[in-house]
Structure 1
């Protein structure tokens, strides 16, 4: 359970005194800082094989109903239009920042995981008729699956307000830096995490933001991007930095 989303939901549920049950795939053996936080917030963590996540969710929803609870299911990763809307709002905050500072960004880079961040930013771009180039650096998923997930979220949110051609043109999902998949890193990623913390005080992590930041630097070199205003969105997950700390130099 390295999920930032699960940690935040567990924290919110605790603050509202609502019981929280987290379904976690057993692919993660490490006791992460996020998992420790979830336990600190009194969340119940139910571990199951990845292949049985869907059934486990259904079984537990039924069990809780039978026990007299009124369970509410929150999809992992903030999927759905509410999650997309959050990054539409984020894009509009970026536009406000541009007005205040008289800076116009040419590129926006970010970690693309389950797709909500990228779909929201692209929806915000289209709704505001912006020409900024949004580049999602995939941290796990390959094309075409990863790209299709983002596309489906865009269509779910905007429907037929824009043409499919506009959607396709706006979606830049880069899977060149996935390495061996989710949570996998190399020495270059660990070096970048160390550098950014020492120089800018910015905690990145090898699973999401550190991999995306490395992917961004490689993309910039590969495409010979120069003299452009570039924004990297640090999508958070500071606790994961401390999971990596022992491996940093």
Structure 2
């Protein structure tokens, strides 16, 4: 185990998130025994995995004397919602640099019949309710971090002290949140006497997966973390995971993590990030109708589709215990209701 208590940290969640056995879903799929880590129930507005990252990122910002946060993501970014929520909790300014969504045809999503811009629901609605100090929406494919860095310079010229957080909060500091989660999970497994064969998680900006891999490695655990990519092929995603795992391991002075610990399966993201797939729709409905648990269509829906396919392929034994990480993001479900019509 590594001791993270020496590092600056804020606390936004009271105690560990629940680890629940999905008995009805497991029966429906004919095994393995599926468990779910409820990181959708983390603190800050509507929860989600970025909260763990922000406990370390916000502490680092405050330690540097920041009075303003600048970050970036899509118009339905869970990370931007939670960064803004943390800013409200801490009394900081928060500025968001956003990228427009695309429809399945590759074109910007048109306004609805009432003339409302498509982004004015889900997380984008929450940006407004939480009072973002500024929001900019740029064309899809824009260099958001370049603009965020430029905006930070403009704010600095106005006398602010900005702190730029990368997309998804996925750098070494943010990934520490999931090093901590790995330790939390191992304690929960020990508490209930659970022998876990695999952990399955969404893999996007890779901070969550890299932190889990490094945290398990630090504890001497060989439980594999199977990443289900939400936006990239395996060939493109795995180097991102490996690089961040290596950076985290170096930061924590850990032994080198074997390359094969960083697995990101690229068969389930469909035609692109945030674009729906029939398998995602099936997975969201199945979790809702067997367990009463809502998944989001961008991350957990596609990761669950991957999990279900792996089960059907016989990847796991019927008596294996597989833990699925619910990374949150449910507000995005309401912005993409058309996928379920």
After TM superposition, the score normalised by the length of structure 1 is 0.92
Larger helix proportion, structure 1 or 2? 1
Among 237, 241, 244, the residue aligned to 2:333? 241
- The alpha-carbon deviation at position 237 of structure 1 amounts to 1.1
Show the counterpart of 2:159: 68
Matched, 1:41 2:127: no
Instruction: Determine the C-alpha separation between the residues in 2 that align with 1:72 and 1:224.
Output: 43
Matched, 1:182 2:273: yes
Among 221, 239, 246, the residue aligned to 1:148? 239
Matched, 1:92 2:166: no
Instruction: Determine the C-alpha separation between the residues in 1 that align with 2:301 and 2:147.
Output: 32
Between Structure 1 and Structure 2, how many residues are aligned? Answer: 247
Show the counterpart of 1:220: 311
1:224 and 1:57, CA in 2 relative to 1: closer, same or farther beyond 3 A?
closer
- The alpha-carbon deviation at position 126 of structure 1 amounts to 0.8
Show the counterpart of 2:255: 162
Unaligned segments of structure 1, at least 5 residues: none
2:149·2:164 contact (CA, 8 Å) conserved in 1?
no
Q: RMSD in angstroms over aligned alpha carbons?
A: 1.8
Show the counterpart of 1:4: 78
- The alpha-carbon deviation at position 246 of structure 1 amounts to 4.9
Instruction: Determine the C-alpha separation between the residues in 2 that align with 1:72 and 1:103.
Output: 41
Show the counterpart of 1:21: 95
Larger strand proportion, structure 1 or 2? 2
Show the counterpart of 1:192: 283
Among 148, 155, 165, the residue aligned to 1:57? 148
User: Residues 10-43 of structure 1: CA distance to partner in whole angstroms, max 9, x if unpaired?
Assistant: 1121233322110012345531410110111111
Tell me which stretches of 4 or more aligned residues in structure 1 moved more than 6 Å: none
